[in-house]
Chains A and B, each alone.
Chain A
Amino acid sequence: MDIGVLVKASLDVNMIRVDSEGRILLDAIPLAISEYDRNAITEAVRIRDETGGGKVVAFSVLTWGPASKRAKEIENVMREALALGADEAHAIVDDSIIPGDTISTAKVLAKLICKMGKFDLVLSGEASQDMMSSQLPVRLARELNYSVATFARKIELLDGKIRVTRDLEDYLQVVNISLPAVISVTGEINRPKLPTLLQIRRAFRKPYNSYTLSQLGVESIEIKLPYKEINLVTISRKNVILEGDKLEDIADQLIERLIEEGVIKV
């Protein structure tokens, strides 16, 4: 079975950079593979191997610029997808859809996927680590005219159908949908392994290609709702480290503070 998997070169939320006035420096934050995309790749590889053949193809769109500077970073992310078991990788790298929005990203991804062949299944993570909108799988399914299910904790192939166990807040919902389908997976669906050195080395021999929009036959694309600005959340916590010679003193100080704050009563 041929399976597509969406991979995002996401802003690394653990490496946020700010200037001296506390403004966020988006261009200086490094890109990293989005956490749940590892789960999606691992699941795609499992299904490929269990169905005996076919390939896993990773797809991405660069959404953080500038493209010239970021081209190498998205390639590294896609190499990681290859090391995790994908067979080939393709990404759109074009300044005209940076930063874009979920509508434009879904549209160009659909173009790229269609160019690469027919896929029975396209998997993605439940949300990207940076923008966390969870919209893309649904929008992509609409563009491809595939069925869709989100927040999958388990995926089972039935005869001509697919059974998805959706992990909702209060319960698990088991649904059947038809193929071809786009499915987003949660972090609980499997435990991705770190690639071995051999897998990392092999990843550099697997095909990776990047495309501009015109190479995909897209002349122009409308960005309906770009973000206006991105601001750092300023945390207004007191950040008081309680110190003392003995743990008893520290415990007493803490209790005293909590009483002053009115959060505990004695």
Chain B
Amino acid sequence: MKGMVFGEKVNYLEDGLGFLQALSENLGTEIEVVGAVVKSDDIDLSVLKGFTKLYVLNEGSTESYAKVLIDLYSRDKPDVIVGPQVKNGVEVMARVASELSIPMITEVYQLSKVNGDTLISRQIMGGRALALYQFKSPIVATIALKRFKPRLEGAQPVIEEINVPKVEMEVVEVQPKEKGAVDIEAAEIVVGVGRGFRSKEDLKLAFELAELLNGEVGCSRPIAADLQWLSEDRWIGISGKKIKGKLYLSIGISGAPQHIMAASDVKVIVAINKDKNAPIFTYADYGVVADLYQFVPVLIERLKAKLKK
């Protein structure tokens, strides 16, 4: 079997390779994998072992990347074409899938084998349910980040540079997003804040708690998108950041499905909310039904005593 992985970044290629290796094990067939990555100043291709060939593309648009992949498809005839579950990855893969009239599975979450059938599942309905599909080639897929660990071994791949074609879509400008210099996706401990906070000023309670625990502060959608009290890189949600550390301590968050799903890989979830019927309690390991303005200061004080700070 043949596989092709596309990604704008090296780590996206690793995720795709991990999936194809898992698929090959599941099916019990060898798989030969080629990769297509976008060239950047700090790119390090030496880590990418396990690919027979690497195509290195110069920077372009989603339309131009898709064109290259469609050309490569007719050359290499892969059975499975995968990309990363990021917005550009989804658009590029959907362009490839629609041009080739091949089915596509967005955000592949896990692989399983039931009665000899290889099943691919993805999360739907805000993470409340899994949809299962029977694997059948050819297929296009985007792979959830960091779900499939690759074995990066073997010889260095052959490298071929490709100039992306001129297309109609024209990239006019790239504006970096304002960053608070936090990476909550990499944080082991995250303190989440929601609508239960009455003002931006009051968030200092959460920041104090996070600092005490060596964690970062994250938030629900309204806090970043509607109220703009915190920058978007702190927004925990399907369209925001996904956290996967040891502890998520949510404060004053009711628990919309999109928020909860983005915290589903966290080891321990604690919820503090004054409404005992808030959905967040269903998704929490430990719940405290209390007014955050009364409870959080006490928690900070007791933690300080325990931590001798």
- A238 to chain B: closest CB distance in Å? 4
- B130 to chain A: closest CB distance in Å? 5
The interface residues of chain B, by DSSP majority, are classed as mixed
Which of A151, A231, A241, A247 is within 8 Å of B129, CB to CB? A231
Q: Assess whether B288 is in contact with A163, with CB atoms less than 8 Å apart.
A: no
A77 to B288, CA, bound (A): 38
A186 to B237, CA, bound (A): 13
Which of B95, B104, B189, B267 is within 8 Å of A102, CB to CB? B104
- Within 8 Å CB of A169, what residues of B? 86-87
Q: Assess whether A176 is in contact with B172, with CB atoms less than 8 Å apart.
A: yes
- Give the contacts of A138-179 with B (CB-CB under 8 A): 138-139, 141-143, 147-151, 163, 166-178
Q: Assess whether B268 is in contact with A261, with CB atoms less than 8 Å apart.
A: yes
Q: Assess whether B177 is in contact with A235, with CB atoms less than 8 Å apart.
A: no
Q: Assess whether B133 is in contact with A24, with CB atoms less than 8 Å apart.
A: no
Task: Name which of B14-22, B35-43, B149-157, B289-297 contacts chain A.
Answer: B289-297
- A20 to chain B: closest CB distance in Å? 18
B51 within 8 A of A: no
A114 within 8 A of B: no
- B128 to chain A: closest CB distance in Å? 6
A35 to B25, CA, bound (A): 39
**Chain A residues bordering chain B, tally (CB within 8 A):** 75
- Within 8 Å CB of A177, what residues of B? 168-170
B90 within 8 A of A: yes
- Within 8 Å CB of A142, what residues of B? 95, 98-99
Q: Assess whether B98 is in contact with A241, with CB atoms less than 8 Å apart.
A: no
- A138 to chain B: closest CB distance in Å? 4
B56 within 8 A of A: no
Task: Name which of A46-54, A82-90, A194-202, A248-256 contacts chain B.
Answer: A248-256
B158 within 8 A of A: no
With A150-B90, A187-B239 as contacts: A16 and B103 at CB distance below 8 Å: no
A203 within 8 A of B: no
Q: Assess whether B106 is in contact with A132, with CB atoms less than 8 Å apart.
A: yes
Q: Assess whether A242 is in contact with B286, with CB atoms less than 8 Å apart.
A: yes
The residue in chain B whose Cβ has the minimal distance to the Cβ of A173 is B174
The interface residues of chain A, by DSSP majority, are classed as mixed
With A138-B98, A228-B133, A241-B281 as contacts: A251 and B287 at CB distance below 8 Å: no
Proximity bits, A200-219, B CB within 8 Å = 1, else 0: 00000000000000000000
- Within 8 Å CB of A106, what residues of B? 98
Proximity bits, B83-98, A CB within 8 Å = 1, else 0: 0001110110011011
Which of A126, A191, A261 is within 8 Å of B267, CB to CB? A261
B181 within 8 A of A: no
Proximity bits, A252-266, B CB within 8 Å = 1, else 0: 101101100111101
B124 within 8 A of A: yes
Other contacts beyond A174-B171, A255-B306: 9, CB < 8 A = A103-B101, A135-B94, A135-B104, A174-B174, A188-B225, A227-B132, A230-B129, A239-B282, A254-B286
A residues with CB within 8 A of B: 11, 13-14, 16, 24, 101-103, 106, 126, 129-135, 138-139, 141-143, 147-151, 163, 166-178, 186-188, 191, 224-225, 227-233, 235, 237-242, 247-248, 250-252, 254-255, 257-258, 261-264, 266
B residues with CB within 8 A of A: 61-62, 86-88, 90-91, 94-95, 97-99, 101, 103-107, 119, 123-134, 136, 139, 168-177, 189, 213, 221, 225-226, 238-239, 246-247, 257, 267-270, 276, 281-290, 294-295, 298-299, 301-303, 306-307
Pairs A–B under 8 Å by Cβ, sample size 24 = A16-B125, A101-B103, A103-B103, A131-B131, A132-B106, A132-B124, A134-B106, A135-B94, A135-B104, A138-B95, A150-B90, A150-B91, A151-B91, A172-B175, A173-B171, A174-B172, A224-B103, A228-B119, A247-B290, A248-B302, A250-B290, A255-B299, A266-B306, A266-B307
* The 5 A-B residue pairs with the shortest CB-CB distance in the complex, in nearest-first order: A225-B103, A138-B94, A142-B98, A238-B285, A174-B173
